[in-house]
Every structure is written in structure tokens, then in C-alpha cells.
């Protein structure tokens, strides 16, 4: 089920919330948790009922492994669990890609098609369960609540595209479902609706606007592109993915807030980053944390033994980002995207140590980082490696003779003041104002500002955003991160 669908917004979410709300009156925690598990399964199966078994099998096997581990405390069981999750993910996501690559590299004589239907959210629930196995081992716990574990994996606000939560962020916090402080409960509901409305507006109105332009550009694949066009395309896609992913995060966190669950921050004004290291601490924060905690640090330990500091940083960084790229999708383009990001993160590390480019101005730092990040979105959006290089080559084509007009203007052919409104508005939202979570912090601490002068005005704002978004829901495009 899409967050930006009538089914979710008008029916599913209100019904689940009401059922949850009244189940609390029963004062039987297992019933409430079980009901949320059932609703989360319905949410998941709405996408493709026939693939629901995939998540059920995965959870079941992980539970078996955890129960055996609790009994015998063999470390090898955790390793088996990790291998199982990786193999399970690889089987569904990468089998066809592997055979295709082997064929392209002439290791196979004939093309083999093993395309399997990609189960929704498999990358997320696999990583979440790996994270749980490792955290569970570290916690030395000897007790597993099965229904809490299932809800930890399948809780619908974070199921499809994260945030990738750790054991102590959901499993250990499920008691918050039974919060008793009425004032706090209503505050959470208010913030939840606020975040959902903001997220919905970002997706339906803003992200869809940019999607229209970038979609047409990629679909037409103009062969002779100029530098200005490539940069414009990169910027527009940057805006699109920014609003798309931040919208998803807002809606996920907002939905969870309705149930008094505080999901971790996953998106923190990433385009205000001053370098690539900063960027990855702000974009998809929970994935970066996973990669950092469970891959980079482990690799660093291994490579550190070589004694060479440069070597012990460079390889773990590159391998970590390569894995991040592969995690995002089965395609050469994602590998390229991951490696390029790894390379720029390394450069940032080097620059931090050696001060090769000592830029004082924050504005320049932010602009350079945004510019480079935008260019690196190209392999994320365009799957054809050949065309990616065409676009990168186009960066050096400074001939502006009509090409700009030809390839772009026909898609923005009804250029009107609304376009300027969208572009300027997006720039202000991205760079000019605090993000929504900073607003909420101010709201909670009752800091007065122009926008937060009156909570009643915010309520009108919420109603306006929600209503405008919901009547424009007709063209349903899924969130970009849903495909991972």
C-alpha cells in the first residue's frame, strides 16, 4: 500500500488508529501488538498478496535462529542468521542480475532469464533483521518476545522503506504504544498529522512536479546534450528525490507518531551538507548508520591490522559504499553510484586531514557539495551505463545553440509563473528554512516565531496541505525508495 494513496490515508490509517486506540482500553498489551501485526501484514500484502509469504518465511526463520541462539548461545548461529538474510535478499534481488552479468562477461553461452518478482521492502526488512541479530547478541539478552519481534520487523510505518530501526529504537520501545499521558498522546497525534500532511504535500505536489520533467527527459534520452542541460537535469532530479524521500520519511515518522512511536530521524536537510561525509550523516541516516556500524567498522578493524592508515580507511570506505550501491538496486548504475560516492567521501576525508581545499565560506562548501551530489544522482536515475556516460560527456559540451530549448523546453512548454514558484519555493524549502523536525522542536518548546505564532494557524495550514494533496492524488507514483 502506498502512503500517498486514498486507501492508506482515508481508510487504512484511520481504521488502524481507531482499532489501536480502542484496543488500549482492553488493557491487554498482546492483543494490541497482535492487532498491529495483522494490520501490518494487510498493509504489506496489499501490494502483492502472493508475495506475502516472503516476509513471513524470513521472519519465521530469524525467530527460529534467535530462539536456538538463546538456548545454546552459539555465536555461529548469529553468523548463520546474517548469511541467511543476505542470501535470501540476494536470491530475490540479484539472481537475474548475476546471470545477466555473467552472460555479458561471456561466462555463460546463452542468456538465462531468472527474473523473480521482487518482494516489496526486502532490502529493508533483511537489513533490519541483520541489525537485530547483531544487536541482540551484543545485548546479551536471554529473552525474546516473539510478537514484539514480529512487530519490530513488520510495523507498517517503517516497513516499506525504512527507517532501518535498531533493537533499542523499536523492539525495546514498544511500551510507548501504551503511553498513559493524555497530553503527550494528543501532542503525538498532532505532530503525526502535521508530518503526514507535510509529507503528502511534498510528494503529491512538489516531487511529482519535478518527476514529470525528469521522467520525460530520461524517457526521451536526448543524445546530444549540453552541459547546461545535464546540470539542469541533475538539479531537477536532486530536487525530485529530495522531496520524494523526505516526503516518505515524514509520512513514515508521522504515521508512527500516531501510535506514540518515535522512529529515528532519517533525513536531516542533506543538501545543507558541507561535504560528502556530512551528506551521508544527513541522507538516509539509518542506512548510513547500518553501513557504518556493521560494515565499515568491521572492515576497518580487519584492514587496520595491515598498519597502513590510508589503506585501512580507503578500502573499507570504498567497499562500504559499493555495498550501499548494490543494496539500492541490481544494476551496474547503482554500483557506479556507490563507488563514486565512496570516492568523494574518501576525498572529503583526505581534505579534512590534508586541507588541500581550505574553503572558508559555508555557502561555497554547501554549493559544491550540492553540485557534486546532484551530478552523482545521474547514475541513480539513469540505468543505462552508456547513457550515463553520454550525460557525463555532455558536461563538457558548452554549445548551447538551441539544444537547451530542444530537450527541455518542450517539457516545460507551458512555462508560466507557477514554474518559478515551484523552483524558488523548492530552493527556499531546501536551503532557506529549518526543516520540519526543527520546526517541531520549536513547536514543542513553545518558541515563538512568525510561523509558529499560533497553533491554530498551523492547524489551518495542515488542513490546507492535506486537502490540496488528497484531491490531487490521481496520478499515483510510488516513492522512489519503494523499489529498494
Partner 1 sequence: MNNYNRLVAIIVSVIFISISFFITFNIYIDPYGIYSNHNQKNKMIYKQNERIRKIILSKKLSAKKIFLGTSTIRDGITKEYYDSDTINLSFNSQSPYESLMMIKNINRTDLKEVNLGLDFFIFSKYWEDTLYLRGFNENLYLNNKLKFLKLIKLNLSLDTFKSSLAEIKYGDSKNLIDSQINNVFINFQSTDYETFDKEKIAYFLKRLNQFNYDENYSYSDSYSKLNSFAAIIDIIELCLKEGLKINLIINPTHNSEKFLLDSLNLKEKYFDWVSSFYSISDKYNINLYNFSVINNYTNIDIESFNKYFSDPIHFRLDLSKKYISELNLNNFSKYHYKNMNDQAFRAYYNAEIEYFISDLGISFNHFLNDIKQKKFIGIEINE
Residues annotated as part of the active site: 328
Q: How far is the CB of 304 from partner 1 (least distance, A)?
A: 47
Task: Closer to partner 1 by CB, 136 or 209: give it.
Answer: 209
Task: Closer to partner 1 by CB, 105 or 219: give it.
Answer: 219
Task: Closer to partner 1 by CB, 74 or 415: give it.
Answer: 415
Q: How far is the CB of 460 from partner 1 (least distance, A)?
A: 8
Here the cell at position 469 is 494533496
Residue pair 254/200 in contact by the 8 Å Cβ criterion: no
Task: Closer to partner 1 by CB, 20 or 190: give it.
Answer: 190
**Dihedral angle over CA of 210, 212, 215, 220, nearest 10:** -120
Q: How far is the CB of 471 from partner 1 (least distance, A)?
A: 4
Judged by the rule CB under 8 A, the positions of this chain that interact with partner 1 are: 6-7, 10-11, 182-183, 186-187, 189-190, 193, 215, 219-222, 224, 402-403, 405-406, 409-410, 413, 455-456, 458-459, 462-463, 466-467, 470-476
* Residue 308 C-alpha from the chain's centroid: 34
Q: How far is the CB of 405 from partner 1 (least distance, A)?
A: 8
Task: Closer to partner 1 by CB, 39 or 88: give it.
Answer: 39
Task: Closer to partner 1 by CB, 24 or 473: give it.
Answer: 473
Q: How far is the CB of 334 from partner 1 (least distance, A)?
A: 20
Q: How far is the CB of 342 from partner 1 (least distance, A)?
A: 31
Q: Which residues contact 277 (CB under 8 A, 6 or more apart)?
A: 345, 348, 349, 352
Q: How far is the CB of 98 from partner 1 (least distance, A)?
A: 24
- In our burial notation (b when 16+ CB lie closer than 10 A, e otherwise), range 384-421 reads eeebbebbeebbeeeeeeebbeebbeebeeeeeeeeee
Task: Closer to partner 1 by CB, 183 or 358: give it.
Answer: 183
Cα 160 from Cα 257, distance rounded (Å) = 17
Cα 194 from Cα 202, distance rounded (Å) = 12
Q: How far is the CB of 7 from partner 1 (least distance, A)?
A: 6
Task: Closer to partner 1 by CB, 314 or 458: give it.
Answer: 458
Amino acid at each position: 500500500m502506498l502512503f500517498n494513496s486514498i486507501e492508506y490515508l482515508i481508510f487504512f490509517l484511520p481504521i488502524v488508529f481507531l482499532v489501536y486506540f480502542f484496543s488500549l482500553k482492553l488493557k491487554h498489551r498482546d492483543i494490541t501488538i497482535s492487532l498491529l501485526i495483522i494490520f501490518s501484514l494487510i498493509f504489506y500484502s496489499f501490494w502483492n498478496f502472493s508475495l506475502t509469504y516472503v516476509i513471513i518465511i524470513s521472519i519465521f526463520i530469524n525467530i527460529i535462529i534467535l530462539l536456538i541462539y538463546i538456548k545454546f548461545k552459539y555465536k555461529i548461529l548469529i553468523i548463520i542468521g546474517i548469511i541467511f538474510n543476505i542470501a535470501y535478499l540476494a536470491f530475490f534481488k540479484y539472481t537475474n542480475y548475476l546471470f545477466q552479468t555473467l552472460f555479458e562477461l561471456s561466462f555463460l553461452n546463452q542468456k538465462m532469464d531468472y527474473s523473480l518478482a521482487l518482494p516489496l521492502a526486502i532490502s529493508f526488512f533483511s537489513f533490519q533483521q541483520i541489525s537485530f541479530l547483531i544487536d541482540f547478541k551484543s545485548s546479551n539478552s536471554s529473552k525474546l518476545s516473539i510478537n514484539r519481534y514480529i512487530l519490530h520487523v513488520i510495523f507498517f510505518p517503517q516497513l516499506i522503506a525504512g527507517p532501518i530501526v535498531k533493537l533499542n529504537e523499536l523492539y525495546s520501545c514498544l511500551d510507548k504504544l501504551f503511553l498513559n499521558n493524555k497530553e503527550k498522546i494528543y501532542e503525538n497525534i498532532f505532530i503525526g498529522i502535521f508530518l503526514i500532511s507535510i509529507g503528502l504535500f511534498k510528494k503529491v505536489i512538489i516531487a511529482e512536479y519535478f518527476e514529470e520533467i525528469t521522467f520525460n527527459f530520461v524517457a526521451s534520452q536526448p543524445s546530444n546534450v549540453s552541459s547546461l542541460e545535464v546540470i539542469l537535469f541533475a538539479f531537477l532530479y536532486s530536487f525530485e528525490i529530495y522531496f520524494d524521500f523526505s516526503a516518505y520519511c515524514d509520512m513514515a515518522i508521522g504515521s508512527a507518531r500516531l501510535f506514540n512511536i518515535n522512529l529515528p530521524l532519517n533525513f536531516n536537510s542533506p543538501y545543507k551538507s558541507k561535504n560528502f561525509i556530512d551528506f551521508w550523516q544527513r541522507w538516509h541516516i539509518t542506512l548510513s548508520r547500518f553501513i557504518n556500524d556493521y560494515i565499515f567498522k568491521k572492515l576497518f578493524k580487519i584492514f587496520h591490522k595491515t598498519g597502513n592508515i590510508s589503506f585501512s580507511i580507503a578500502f573499507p570506505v570504498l567497499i562500504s559504499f559499493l555495498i550501499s550501491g548494490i543494496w539500492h538496486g541490481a544494476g551496474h548504475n547503482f554500483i557506479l553510484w556507490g563507488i563514486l560516492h565512496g570516492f568523494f567521501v574518501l576525498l572529503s576525508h583526505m581534505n579534512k586531514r590534508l586541507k588541500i581545499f581550505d574553503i572558508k565560506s559555508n555557502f561555497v562548501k554547501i554549493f559544491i557539495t550540492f553540485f557534486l551530489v546532484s551530478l552523482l544522482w545521474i547514475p541513480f536515475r539513469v540505468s543505462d551505463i552508456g547513457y550515463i556516460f553520454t550525460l557525463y560527456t555532455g558536461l563538457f559540451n558548452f554549445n548551447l545553440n538551441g539544444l537547451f530549448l530542444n530537450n527541455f523546453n518542450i517539457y516545460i512548454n507551458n512555462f508560466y509563473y507557477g514554474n518559478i514558484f515551484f523552483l524558488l519555493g523548492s530552493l527556499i524549502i531546501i536551503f532557506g528554512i529549518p526543516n520540519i523536525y526543527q520546526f517541531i522542536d520549536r513547536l514543542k518548546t513553545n518558541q515563538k516565531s512568525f510561523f509558529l505564532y499560533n497553533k491554530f494557524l498551523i492547524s489551518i495550514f495542515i488542513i490546507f496541505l492535506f486537502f490540496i494533496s488528497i484531491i490531487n492524488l490521481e496520478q499515483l507514483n510510488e516513492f522512489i525508495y519503494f523499489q529498494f
